[in-house]
Copies of this chain bind each other. A is one copy, B any other.
Amino acid sequence: MIVSASSRELLDRVIAYAAAEGITGRSLREIAAGVGTSHRMLLYHFGSREGLLAAVVGLIEQQQRDLLGELADRVASSGPPAEGTKAGELMLLLWARVSDPELRPYVRLFFEVVGVAVHDAPGTGGFLANLTGPWLDESEAVARRLGLAVDRDELRLGVATCRGLLLELLAGADPRATDASYRLFVRMWESRLTGA
C-alpha cells in the first residue's frame, strides 16, 4: 500500500465515498467515478483491489482509535480524579458521540466491513481480531485513571451494547428510542455499582 501524500488525499475521498455509497459490492470503476478519478489511478495508488480495501479498513480502525484517544483526553483533563458516579456521564458522552447522525455513514461502513470480514475476505485481515481489544484496553486505562473499579467483562458488555444499539439505529430505529434504551443501560450499570 503506497502512502504518499496524494495517495492519502485520495484515500480520504474513497472513505467518504465508501461511507456514503458503500464499497464492498462496487467495482473499481464505480468507485473511481465516485471520487473523480480513474480505476487506473486507484490501482496505481493502492496496488490492487485488496490493497484499496485494506487501506479503507486501516483508516476505519485509525478513526476509531482517534475517537477513543479523544475521549480519553477529555477525561484526563476533566479536573481531579472524581468520584464514582462519573462513569455514567462518561458512558453517555461516548454514546452521544458515536450515535451522532453525522457519524452514521461511518457506522454503516463499519458494519459493512464487518459483513465481509466475518468470512475473512482479502484485505480485511486483522479487522475482526482487533475489533474490541483496543476499546477494552483504552477504556480500562480511562477507568483506572478515574479510580473506578471495572473489570473487562463489564467493559465488554458496554462496548457490545453500544454496537447493538448502533445497529438498531442503522436499521431505522427512532433515535429517541435507542437513547432511552441506552440511558436505561447506564442506570442499570450505576445501580449495580452503588448497590454492590
A→B interface (CB under 8 Å): 21-22, 24-25, 108, 111-116, 118-119, 121, 128-129, 131-132, 152-154, 156-157, 159-165, 167-168, 170-173, 177-178, 180-182, 184-185, 187-189, 191-192, 195
Tell me if B167 and A160 are in contact (CB < 8 A).
yes
Q: List 17 A–B pairs whose Cβ atoms lie within 8 Å, in order of A's numbering.
A: A21-B119, A24-B24, A24-B25, A24-B115, A111-B114, A112-B115, A128-B170, A131-B168, A153-B177, A153-B181, A156-B178, A156-B181, A157-B182, A157-B185, A161-B164, A162-B164, A187-B192
With A114-B115, A157-B165, A164-B165 given, can you name 4 additional A-B contacts, CB distance below 8 Å? A132-B173, A153-B184, A160-B167, A164-B164
Alpha-carbon separation in the docked complex, A17 to B170 (Å): 27
Q: Which single member of B22, B182, B191 contacts A192 (CB below 8 Å)?
A: B191
5 closest Cβ pairs, A-B complex: A115-B115, A160-B164, A164-B164, A22-B119, A188-B188
Alpha-carbon separation in the docked complex, A4 to B17 (Å): 41
For A180, what are the chain B residues with a Cβ–Cβ distance below 8 Å? 153
Q: Which single member of B114, B156, B167 contacts A177 (CB below 8 Å)?
A: B156
Q: This chain: how many copies in the complex?
A: 2
Alpha-carbon separation in the docked complex, A153 to B177 (Å): 7
Closest to A22 in B: B119
Q: Which single member of B111, B119, B195 contacts A108 (CB below 8 Å)?
A: B119
For A119, what are the chain B residues with a Cβ–Cβ distance below 8 Å? 21-22, 25, 108, 112
Main secondary structure of the interface of A (DSSP, over half): helix
Closest to A115 in B: B115
Closest to A109 in B: B118
For A192, what are the chain B residues with a Cβ–Cβ distance below 8 Å? 187-188, 191
For A185, what are the chain B residues with a Cβ–Cβ distance below 8 Å? 157, 161
Closest to A159 in B: B164
Alpha-carbon separation in the docked complex, A162 to B163 (Å): 10
